[in-house]
Structure formats: structure tokens, C-alpha cells
Chain A
Amino acid sequence: MTADTGERVLTQESALELLAFLVTAARTQTEEAAEYGPMRLLMGARLLAERMVDEVGDDDVLGGLVSEVAALEPVRTPTRDREAYLAALDALCERVADTLLAQAGRA
């Protein structure tokens, strides 16, 4: 649900798609290279963000975060340039926090 309108951002179909991704990714994670872990989680976040993009209205803070997550490349992993990867992920986490604070009226 969006903060402003309280409307659904997921249809039953897209919610099921996300559910399927999360459940099957849990299984594949038991056998995949560990470096794929954060990539799969971000792919799940991207799936959700893709569904949110058109529903954020004129909330610039939320819209910026959602657009950024929806545009994440689905093949990035932390192995080749770990420092840059972690720095980018930390920056994204900070924007998540900023967005949550703004939603709570504490920006």
C-alpha cells in the first residue's frame, strides 16, 4: 500500500509472481555461489519496485528510491569490486532509511 493513497500496488498476479520468486530463490540459494545471495535479494526488491513505480504519485522521495531500485541491473555481484559494491549498497540503504523517515514525517 502506498502511504498517501492506501491503494494496492500489487495485483494478485504480481504478488504471486513475487512470492514465486522468493520461494524458488530460497531453494536455489542452497546450491548457488554465495555471491548470488545479495543479487537475488535485490532482484526480489526490483520485482517489487517495478510494480510500485506507477503508484508512488508525486512523492519525490519515495519515487526516487523506487525508480532507483527498479533500475538495478539484475546481474551485479559483490565479488569483482567489493568495495564499490558495498559503498553503493550502503548508499541505497541510506536512501531507504531516508524514505522511511520521510514517510513517518521525520524527514
Chain B
Amino acid sequence: MSQVGANPVYDAIRSRRVTRRMSSEPVDPELLDLVLEAARWAPNAGNRRLQPVRLVTDPDTLRVLKAVSPGMVPSPPAVIAICLDTRRAEEFGFQPGHRGLYVDIGTTAATLLLAAHSVGLGACPVTSFSRAAAARVLGLPDGTSPELLVCLGHPTDVQPATFSALTS
């Protein structure tokens, strides 16, 4: 553990937090590109890349996406949807619901979260949303399912309490 203080990767892992309250300030598109690019470098089984990502910054689309996502606590200025290409997965011989496909959703998400943190953005992963409704909102083709939403934005100074009792 002696190298921890001089290890920026480890420091980033330790200092990253989920951001549940974001300002409405738009995110610099260059920063979003950097975060998106990181998804390409996420660990991925067999390098099959069956988890396409979709960036959303249009305010109307974001508002509707939030409305069908009960677990989306922030009102983010940007969202990256990590999807699953089930048709290509079938072509590779995956059975529907194969665990490995979802492990790669997780590795993509973890990489995006760290990339966002590295450029000073807050991020909040959301799994509680209607896949059916979100697919409509995102205009995804048949066979492509949104599996995880990553909210991106600038953190506000005050964040909601973490999961605990009803009152603090």
C-alpha cells in the first residue's frame, strides 16, 4: 500500500463518488467525447463489443427520459445509455440473459464513471428505469436494449444523503 499516495489511478478509484445532484450547467462536448471514448477501452469479453453506448444531451429528450426512470435522482445535462445488442449477441451464440453480457455492461459503466471523475464530472448510474419506455425515448432499433443509464453533469456543493434512514 506504500504506493497509494503516488498512484493517480488508485486515488481516482478511492475518491470517486456517485453524484445525485447536478447543476443545469451544460457539459463541455469535448469532455463528453473523452468519457465516451473511454467506453471503447473498457474490458470486454472476447472484444465482441455488444454494448453500444448512446449519448443524450437534448433537454427535451432528457426530461422525458427522466420521467420514465424512477431511479434517476439527478436532473442531468447529459446521459450516456449503455445498451445491449441482443441480435449480435445471438449471432455469437449467446443465450438470452447470459450473465457475461451484463458483466460487460458493468465494466463499461465502471470505466465511464472513472473517466467522468478524471475530467471533473459527476456521474450517477441508474438501473431503475423502464427498458421499454427508454428504448422508445432513445429511438433504439429493435434488438437493442438500454441496460444502464449514466447521468453526467457538474456536481452541486450539497449532495443528498446516502442511502440510510428516512430522516437524518
Residues of A within 8 A of B (CB): 16-17, 20-21, 23-25, 27-28, 32, 36, 40, 42-43, 72-81, 84-85, 88-89, 92
Contact = CB atoms under 8 A, between A and B. Distances in A.
A84 B160 contact: no
Contact of B163 (A23, A43, A76, A92): A76
A80 B166 contact: no
A21 B166 contact: no
Interface stretch (B42-50, B65-73, B113-121): B65-73
10 contacts: A20-B68, A24-B67, A24-B68, A24-B70, A32-B128, A36-B71, A72-B166, A73-B161, A74-B160, A75-B73
Contacts of B130: 23-24, 27-28
A84 B166 contact: yes
A80 B163 CA distance: 8
Interface of B: 20, 67-71, 73, 128-130, 132-133, 160-168
A24 B129 contact: yes
Given A17-B67, A24-B70, A73 B168 contact: yes
B67 A20 contact: yes
Contacts, number: 72
A36 B128 contact: yes
Contacts of A78: 165-166
| Secondary structure dominating the interface of B | loop
B166 A43 contact: no
The 9 closest A-B pairs by CB, nearest first: A88-B166, A25-B70, A24-B130, A81-B165, A20-B67, A84-B165, A88-B167, A28-B128, A85-B165
Given A24-B133, A28-B128, A74-B160, A80 B165 contact: yes
A16 B69 CA distance: 14
A80 B164 contact: yes
Given A20-B67, A20-B68, A24-B133, A77 B164 contact: yes
A81 B128 CA distance: 23
B160 to A, nearest CB: 5
Given A36-B128, A75-B20, A28 B164 contact: no
Nearest to A42: B166
Contact of A76 (B71, B129, B132, B164): B164
Given A28-B129, A36-B128, A74-B73, 20 more contacts: A21-B70, A23-B130, A24-B68, A24-B129, A24-B133, A25-B70, A40-B70, A40-B128, A74-B20, A75-B20, A75-B73, A75-B160, A75-B161, A76-B164, A77-B163, A79-B163, A80-B163, A80-B165, A84-B166, A85-B165
